[in-house]
Amino acid sequence: MSIENQIIEALEWRYAVKKFDPTKKIKQEHWKILEESLLLSPSSYGLQPWKFLVVQNVALRKQLTPASWNQTQVEDCSHYVVLATLKTITEDYIGSFIQSTAETRHMDVASLMGYQKMIIGDLVQGPRSKVIEHWAQKQSYIAMGNIMHSAALLKIDSCPMEGIDPKAYDKILGLENTPYASAAAVALGYRSSEDKYQLAKKVRFPKDQIIKVLM
Amino acid sequence: MSIENQIIEALEWRYAVKKFDPTKKIKQEHWKILEESLLLSPSSYGLQPWKFLVVQNVALRKQLTPASWNQTQVEDCSHYVVLATLKTITEDYIGSFIQSTAETRHMDVASLMGYQKMIIGDLVQGPRSKVIEHWAQKQSYIAMGNIMHSAALLKIDSCPMEGIDPKAYDKILGLENTPYASAAAVALGYRSSEDKYQLAKKVRFPKDQIIKVLM
């Protein structure tokens, strides 16, 4: 099948799985691709203000369930990924990113000073600093889109999980007293044949209400 | 090539293009897939709190440039997509979504009353209502991830644009006095051979700093 058709087929095939088949696990070869989809996600300035916690511990998943509106996906999916994002962006963090850039690209840190100042001016001193937690969370939603798209292409099901209690998650996952906080999660695995939602038609507003071309 | 390899190749090939080749345009067949990538994007509850403005008007693009830190991508790319999101989520809006669900799935609106109440309880009355503009913007970042991933698979370049002045965008694009506000943009097209950033190694923190598996 052409890549064009594969993309359309994957996007139409995907839906937010309500009931996963707990016996089906993502194979290692595919999980590696999903990990790369997170790691290679775009983010503003390339700052990657995130950590991805893959909760495979059964006891931890059980604890997360009541903090997730008791949704069964948490325990039944193959891989449960919690997106945690920075609560604040510090000059130190930006410095470590600039350092990483210089090392990766064999550049002198001094040559990146202007860029570093610009990022600090925007995120530490500028108006965005007032909503920086939201800014960081937004970046993680790009990664969310990325991993679910890759998953669908691999015929791996997913469910984005926003109905979570971030504070309870932080406690259970040991994020309290760290610079990171839980933002959202993505459950990945395989749909149960009993999940009736796989048969439901996708609900979308008409295209002419959503996309407007300004010619 | 296997889909596995295509995904990895696409994710590695993608970078935030600084200089587009203004002579290269996305063909209609591919643009349709990018449109579908927006329309079929997941969003919380499936609410689609967005409109996508495709700015193809040259004069409008010229006006947007100074409101975009004078970045050349605005005018040079093939398709310039502004992500606009709802400033507030009203009971009416949720009602129209429930209506759309009932029509699409041939259900009785009454049978969706519980679901409708749950969404209202969360987004109109609950704590999320206090940060609803951010909530809506986050959803649009899933779409951003989705369209850039599809683009990369089709060897179409992109650049996510967060460095924009949303208020100026709203004015230029006629969004003032509408329920929508500009959140971010994505430039799509083809990299210029002169864009030196295509040769720069991708900067990423080491995997063990970003992905933590809790066994």
Give the domain range for residue A70: 3-210
Q: For residue A215, is it within any domain?
A: no
| Contacts B105 to A, Cβ<8 Å | 200-201, 203
Q: Does this model's pTM top 0.90?
A: yes
Q: For residue B24, is it within any domain?
A: yes
Nearest neighbour of B7 by CB, restricted to A122, A153, A210 = A153
Q: For residue A67, is it within any domain?
A: yes
| Contacts B146 to A, Cβ<8 Å | 11, 145-146, 148-149
- B55-91 in b/e burial notation, b at 16+ Cβ within 10 A? beeeebbebbeebbeebebbbbbbbbbbbbbbbebee
A177: its two tokens: 């007293």
Contact call for A37 and B6, based on CB within 8 A: no
- Domain with residue A130: its CATH number is 3.40.109.10
Q: How many structural domains compose chain B? A: 1
A179: its two tokens: 């610079």
- A84-117 in b/e burial notation, b at 16+ Cβ within 10 A? bbbbebeeebbeebbebbbeeeeeeeeebeeebe
Rounded to a whole number, what is the distance in Å from the CA of A142 to chain B's nearest CA? 4
* Mutation for B interface: A186, A212, A215, most B CBs within 10 A: A212
Q: For residue B118, is it within any domain?
A: no
Q: What is the pLDDT of residues A74-85, one digit of tens each?
A: 999 999 999 999
For the segment B184-192, the average pLDDT, to the nearest whole number, is 98
pLDDT value of residue A17 = 98
| Contacts A153 to B, Cβ<8 Å | 3, 7, 153
Contact call for A141 and B146, based on CB within 8 A: no
Mean pLDDT of chain A: 98
| Contacts A104 to B, Cβ<8 Å | 201-204
Contact call for B210 and A138, based on CB within 8 A: no
pLDDT value of residue A106 = 97
* Mutation for A interface: B146, B165, B175, most A CBs within 10 A: B146
B70: its two tokens: 């004078």
For the segment B159-176, the average pLDDT, to the nearest whole number, is 97
Comparing CA positions, the residue from A82, A93, A103 lying closest to residue A48 is: A93
Q: For residue B96, is it within any domain?
A: no
Contact call for B38 and A210, based on CB within 8 A: yes
Rounded to a whole number, what is the distance in Å from the CA of B32 to chain A's nearest CA? 10
Rounded to a whole number, what is the distance in Å from the CA of B73 to chain A's nearest CA? 15
Q: What is the pLDDT of residues A117-172, one digit of tens each?
A: 999 999 999 999 999 999 999 999 999 999 999 999 999 999 999 999 999 999 99
Q: For residue A187, is it within any domain?
A: yes
Rounded to a whole number, what is the distance in Å from the CA of A20 to chain B's nearest CA? 18
Q: For residue B80, is it within any domain?
A: yes
For the segment A32-56, the average pLDDT, to the nearest whole number, is 98
pLDDT value of residue B198 = 97
pLDDT value of residue A12 = 98
